[in-house]
Amino acid sequence: MPTVAISIKTSNHEQFVDITTQVQQAVTEIGATDGICTIFSPHTTAGLTINEHADPDVASDILSFLRDAVPEDRAWTHAEGNSPAHVKASLLGASVTVIVERGRLHLGTWQGIFFCEFDGPRSRTVWLTFTPSA
């Protein structure tokens, strides 16, 4: 199966964007049935995570925690000035994997897939690939 690109435009410096619907649409468009869907971010200042998407306060709480854990005003040495974004992206990770059953993402009731922007606003891309079950 081909790799599919999903475009994302962020509007804030730090932001969680729920991409669950876009990922499901891509899975449907490629005709995926049963297997594994991998979603990958090729950006060093953005990540991906799966978490609750019913209450936006959860994403706000995660961002707040990351701001406290990785402060902007630390004595960073990276010349571009976006070291906190790199650290936050590394903490969350560059990919997530989701089971696909009968063409549908197999997520928990409250789960959603989030693109996590830490150096925006920007135009971003994530790549999706599907591995069918044997």
Q: What is the pLDDT of residue 37?
A: 97
Q: What is the pLDDT of residue 79?
A: 83
Q: What is the pLDDT of residue 134?
A: 81
Q: Which residue has the tokens 């969680």?
A: 16
CA 127 to chain CA centroid, Å, is 10
Q: What is the pLDDT of residue 81?
A: 87
Q: What is the pLDDT of residue 10?
A: 98
Q: What is the pLDDT of residue 96?
A: 98
Domain ranges of the chain: 4-70+79-132
Per-residue pLDDT of the chain (134 residues; tens, 9 = 90+): 689 999 999 999 999 999 999 999 999 999 989 999 999 999 999 999 999 999 999 999 999 999 999 998 888 999 888 999 999 999 999 999 999 999 999 999 999 999 999 999 999 999 999 999 98
Single-letter code of the amino acid located at 96: V
Q: Whole-number mean pLDDT of the chain?
A: 96
Q: Is the peptide bond before 2 cis (omega within 30 degrees of 0)?
A: no
Distance, in Å, from the CA atom of 117 to the CA atom of 91, rounded to the nearest integer, reads 13
Report the CATH fold assignment for 4-70+79-132.
Answer: Jelly Rolls (2.60.120)
Q: What is the pLDDT of residue 2?
A: 80
